[in-house]
Amino acid sequence: MQFSRHRLALVTLMLCGAPGAAHAQEPAAPTAYDDESFKERLEPESLEKEKASLQQEAKKGPLSPAKTKRLAAVLYHLGDAQAALLMLGALSNSQTNDADTQYMMAALFELTGDLERAISTYEGAALLAPDNAILLLDLGLAHRKLGNYDGALDAYEKALKRDPNLAVAHFNRGEALERLDKTEQAITAYKQAAKLSPEYARPYVALGKIYAELGLYKKAEQSLQRALRASPSETDASYNLGVLYFRQRRYRAAVQQYKQALESRPNYADAHNNLGVALDRIGQRQEAMTHFKKAVELEPDSVDGAFNLGLAYLRTGQLKEAGAQFEQVLQMKPDLPEAQFHLGEVYYQRGRTKRALGLYKKALYTRPQDAMTYRRMARAYLDQDEPEKAVTYLEKLTELKPADAPAHAELGEVLAKLGTPDADERALRMLDKAQQLDPESPAIQVSLARVYYGQKKVKPAMKALSAALSLDAAHRPAVLLLGDILEAQGKVGQALKLYQEASEASPTFTEAYYRQALLHRRAGDSADEKRAYERTLLLDPSHVAARAELGGLYAKDKDLDRAESTLKAALQTDPSYARAHYYLAGVLAQRGDVPAARDAAREATQRDKNLGPAFAVLGALSERLEDLPAARDAYRRALELSPKSSELAIKLEAVEKAMAATP
């Protein structure tokens, strides 16, 4: 899952190779330099004074053309462009050959958004003042705003015929050529602009961007650094240098440049977005989240920003917030497969598999060649106990990726779930193909072992697991499956030794410690059981099962305070974990709080309807509270789950007799 414009990971969110994989960071778009020749900025107070003075003079008689133009300029600077246009229009009617008036009117038309009239008026002014290079430069800029780069290029070239040393015209000519995909000519123009005005940073920025696009990273870096020497606060130079470093995977350097860009332009949404992605790549996810949020705040309609924030939420398990962001992205861009895929991931993790499948299908419709989506479809159908449909999507995956060994192994495992002789034969063929594609993969050997074991072929399964462990002595799935087989055969000592050796070879192998604890319990060794649970939790504090079982041990040892706090901590991590509720019921019962104990036992039975001991405890607690119907129902269910328990049968019979004797 990766981020966009970096579009995460995340991801990601967000996580690698999934739909929604990050696009390369985009450089800032080429930008013309708008040299508004007559528009110097003055203080409003002085402008108001000048306006009042000129208007007072106008009351005494008509202003001279020069003062009329001056008043128009003052009005423009004070924000009254329409009044300025009216004055200049009246003046141009009386002085039809005054290029300066036409020029000012053209600029005002441009500023008010009337580009067609601006261009025609600029052209009229240029006829009256054919040697005015700045006027022609502004004509080019008006064409550019209209998206007419050919017209802009023509105007810039005419300006350069009048003044070959006009650096800004060379720069703007380069920008027009770049827009017209005339890259080599654009480079020449930018170089000329830089030569004529070495202190002018923007040509170096433009050159850096082009060189980066051409893969000439060293030249790109030199140009962008030259821009920063000319102007240390040149935002686009820092931003594009950040993009360059990111593409080179120099993430920390990219972070530094994006932060520098934000110093000069704090509300630069793209810089916040890209900084977030770079921070994520170096593991600073909380700070990354802050910048994604800022990017969305600054540009609520930014697809990239909303997408990346969604990935960040997804990667940190904030599913509700992630879903809201991806929904927002799809409102802006309904057919974006990356957003469809990741919204599907959100729904899948929230247990809404059917909704997830619908979104995966939409993503595939737009991007039918995406391997990860086929994998996710297969996973979802397996969760719905529809292996036939899972097979269909995995078959498409192997067609799409014929050299993908894990895909063939997955297909083999799922075919085996169909349970037919033909499917079993095909499963083994797929796994054989997977081994041919990647003979050094222990994971494929484990898949083969699972299939054999599912077919009750224990010896071939053990042989495949031996092969897996010869490739990787600490391969965790191989260790766990071999342990399952040994335990099923009653070889508890061998299984315990296997887990102990695996945890010695791989000291962070959490599940090996947990399984040791369970086997110590079977052997009645509570001290070693406790130590193994504690080691499990040291490695993974969120391991709910280990914490719950440890709480159960504390309760058994009558350490009720530690038991209760441990069990409540387990339920804080996962409120649905039934055994934690069951053990808590026992603790509360020992404390004498029978109603609360019964509530906990009832919660355990609701969370796991096959947890027999919880039903037995619920029956006993209901009986103590003289709720005989509830006790009867609980004992009945407990006896269904443990039909050979004479103790339960006796308790149920006693309750039923008591109920019969009750009037």
Per the CB < 8 A criterion, the answer to whether 481 and 465 are in contact is: yes
Nearest to 6 by CA among 275, 323, 293, 289: 275
Instruction: Give mean pLDDT, residues 163-191.
Output: 95
| CA 363/CA 335 separation, integer angstroms | 8
**Residue 153 sits in which domain range?**
31-164
pLDDT for 111 equals 84
pLDDT for 4 equals 39
Greater model confidence, 23 or 412 = 412
Residue 132 within any structural domain of the chain: yes
Nearest to 274 by CA among 233, 322, 228, 240: 240
Radius of gyration of the chain (CA): 37
Of the CA atoms within 13 Å of residue 382, those in its CB half-sphere come to: 18
Give the confidence band of 286 by pLDDT, cuts at 50, 70, 90. Answer: very high
Give the confidence band of 42 by pLDDT, cuts at 50, 70, 90. Answer: low
Residues 42 and 9 in one domain: no
Question: In the numeric block, which tokens belong to residue 359?
Answer: 């979104």
Instruction: Give mean pLDDT, residues 540-559.
Output: 95
Does residue 443 surpass a pLDDT of 60? yes
| CA 285/CA 241 separation, integer angstroms | 22
pLDDT for 394 equals 96
Check which CATH number belongs to the domain holding 401 and give it. 1.25.40.10
Residues 466 and 483 in one domain: no
- pLDDT digits over 495-505, tens only? 999 999 999 99
Greater model confidence, 91 or 28 = 91
Residues 35 and 160 in one domain: yes
Least confident range of 33-37, 205-209, 440-444: 33-37
Cα end-to-end distance, the chain, whole Å: 67
Instruction: Give mean pLDDT, residues 266-273.
Output: 96
Residues 40 and 154 in one domain: yes
Give the confidence band of 544 by pLDDT, cuts at 50, 70, 90. Answer: very high
Residue 116 within any structural domain of the chain: yes
Residues 483 and 412 in one domain: no
Last residue in a domain, options 525, 556, 586: 525
Instruction: Give mean pLDDT, residues 399-408.
Output: 95
Does residue 11 surpass a pLDDT of 70? no
- 3-state SS class at 643: coil
Residues 454 and 490 in one domain: no
Long-range contacts of range 77-80, CB-CB < 8 Å, 24 or more positions apart?
Answer: 77/39, 77/41, 77/42, 77/47, 78/44, 78/47, 78/48, 78/51
Residues 47 and 136 in one domain: yes
pLDDT for 80 equals 80
Question: In the numeric block, which tokens belong to residue 37?
Answer: 């020749």
- 3-state SS class at 241: helix
Does residue 392 surpass a pLDDT of 60? yes
Least confident range of 101-115, 369-383, 621-635: 101-115
pLDDT for 213 equals 92
DSSP, res 370? -
Residue 272 within any structural domain of the chain: yes
Does residue 231 surpass a pLDDT of 70? yes
Note the residue count of the chain: 663
Residues 127 and 11 in one domain: no
| CA 341/CA 371 separation, integer angstroms | 12
% of the chain with per-residue pLDDT over 70: 93
Count of beta carbons in the 10 Å neighbourhood of residue 486: 20
Least confident range of 75-79, 99-103, 235-239, 559-563: 75-79
Does residue 223 surpass a pLDDT of 90? yes
3-state helix, strand, coil in the chain (%, to 5): 75, 0, 25
| CA 321/CA 314 separation, integer angstroms | 8
| CA 466/CA 449 separation, integer angstroms | 10
- 3-state SS class at 39: coil
Give the confidence band of 96 by pLDDT, cuts at 50, 70, 90. Answer: low
Last residue in a domain, options 492, 525, 558: 525
Count of beta carbons in the 10 Å neighbourhood of residue 548: 26
Residue 539 within any structural domain of the chain: no
- 3-state SS class at 572: helix
Per the CB < 8 A criterion, the answer to whether 553 and 530 are in contact is: yes
Does residue 12 surpass a pLDDT of 50? no
Residue 259 within any structural domain of the chain: no
Residues 7 and 124 in one domain: no
Angle in degrees, 0-180, between the axes of helices 458-471 and 442-454, rounded to the nearest 10: 170
Instruction: Give mean pLDDT, residues 262-287.
Output: 95
Residues 10 and 38 in one domain: no
Nearest to 99 by CA among 65, 67, 74: 65
Among all chains, which residue has been given the structure tokens 């989240």?
289
Residues 88 and 55 in one domain: yes
Least confident range of 62-66, 123-127, 458-462, 548-552: 62-66
- 3-state SS class at 11: strand
Among all chains, which residue has been given the structure tokens 């332009």?
265
Instruction: Give mean pLDDT, residues 120-139.
Output: 92
Among all chains, which residue has been given the structure tokens 């810039």?
156
Residue 514 within any structural domain of the chain: yes
Question: Amino acid identity, residue 589?
Answer: A
Phi/psi at 11 (nearest 5 deg)?
-35, -60
| CA 450/CA 585 separation, integer angstroms | 38
Does residue 17 surpass a pLDDT of 50? no
Greater model confidence, 98 or 548 = 548
Least confident range of 30-34, 67-71, 499-503, 598-602: 30-34
Residue 394 within any structural domain of the chain: yes
Residue 562 within any structural domain of the chain: no
Residues 411 and 296 in one domain: no
| Averaged pLDDT of the chain | 90
